[in-house]
Structure 1
Amino acid sequence: MKIIAYALAGAALFGAVSTASAAPLKVFACVPEWASLVKTIGGERIASVTLATTAFENPDNLKPTPGMIAALGEADLLLCTGIGLEDEWLPALMERAKNPNVAKGKPGYFMAGEYAKVIEEHNEGEHSKVDARGAEEEEVHPHVQGDPNNVRVIAGQLAKRLIALDPEGKDVYTDRTKTFLSQLTALTKELKAKAAPLKGINIVVQHDHSTYLFNWLGVRTAAIVEPEPNVAPGPAHLAKIIADVPKNRMRFVIYAAYEDPAPSRFVSEKAKIPLIKLPFTVGGTPEATDLLEFYKDSVQRLLDGLAGRERT
Structure 2
Amino acid sequence: MTFRNAFAALLLLVAAVPAEAQLRVFTCEPEWTALVRALVPDAAVTTATSHLQDPHYIEARPSLIAAVRRADIAICTGASLEAGWLPMLLQRASNPDIQRGRAGLFFAADHAKLHAPHDHVDRSMGDVHPEGNPHVHLSPNQLPEIAGALAKRLGEIEPEMAAAIQSRYIRWRGDWNSLRAEWRARAVALQGQSLVVQHSNFGYLLRWLGVEMAADLEPKPGLPPGASHLSQLLANPDLEDASAILIASYQDPQPAQWLAEQTGLPVVVVPGTVTGKAPTETLGGLISEIIRQVELAVSGAPNGSV
Matched, 1:127 2:127: no
Q: Root-mean-square deviation (CA), in Å?
A: 2.4
| Equivalent position amino acid for 1:291 in 2 | L
- The CA distance in 1 between the partners of 2:184 and 2:52, in whole Å, is 27
Equivalent-residue separation in structure 2 for 1:127 and 1:284 (angstroms):
37
Q: Deviation per CA, 1:83-114: give whole Å up to 9, x if none.
A: 11111110110000000011111111111110
Q: Which residue in 1 is equivalent to 2:206?
A: 214
For 1:128, the aligned partner's letter is: M
Q: Distance in 1 between matches of 2:129 and 2:285?
A: 35
Change in CA separation of 1:163 and 1:246 when aligned onto 2, cut-off 3 Å: closer
Change (3 A) 1:246 1:169: closer
**Structure 1 match to 2:31:** 33
Contact 1:195/1:303 (CA < 8 Å) preserved in 2? no
Q: Secondary structure at the match of 2:236?
A: helix
Deviations 1:113-132, CA, capped at 9 Å, x for gaps = 10012101568885238xxx
Write the letter of the residue equivalent to 1:127: S
CA offsets per residue over residues 235-257 of structure 1, 9 Å max, x none?
34223323436764111101101
Alignment of 1:1-16 (within 5 A): none
SS in 1 for 2:26: strand
Change (3 A) 1:243 1:212: same
Given residue 276 of structure 1, which amino acid in structure 2 is its aligned partner?
V
Deviation at 1:230, TM superposition (A): 5.7
> What is the aligned counterpart of 2:22 among 24, 35, 41?
24
- Corresponding residue for residue 83 of structure 1: 79
Tell me which residue corresponds to 2:275.
283
- For normalisation by structure 1, the TM-score amounts to 0.85
Cα gap change, 1:125 to 1:34, in 2 (>3 Å): closer
Please report how far the alpha carbon of residue 181 of structure 1 lies from its aligned counterpart in structure 2 after TM superposition.
Answer: 0.3
Alignment of 1:26-175 (within 5 A): 26-44=24-42, 46=43, 48-121=44-117, 127-128=124-125, 138-175=130-167
Please tell me whether residue 244 in structure 1 is matched to residue 241 in structure 2: no
Q: Quote how far apart the aligned CAs of 1:306 are.
A: 0.5
Instruction: Quote the residue 1:298 is aligned against.
Output: 290
* Greater per-residue helix proportion: 1
Q: CA separation in 1, counterparts of 2:25 and 2:279? A: 25
1:200 to 1:69, Cα distance in 2 relative to 1, 3 A: same
Q: Is the 8 A contact 1:223 1:241 kept in 2?
A: yes
1:226 maps onto 2:221 in alignment: no
- Structure 2 residue identity aligned to 1:112: A
What is the alpha-carbon distance in structure 1 between the residues aligned to residue 47 and residue 239 of structure 2? 43
Q: Unaligned stretches of 5+ in structure 2?
A: 1-17
Distance 2:129 2:165 in 1: 38
> 3-state DSSP class of the match of 1:302?
helix
8 Å contact from structure 2 (residues 81, 129) kept in 1: no
Q: What CA distance in whole angstroms lies between the structure 1 residues aligned with 2:134 and 2:266?
A: 27
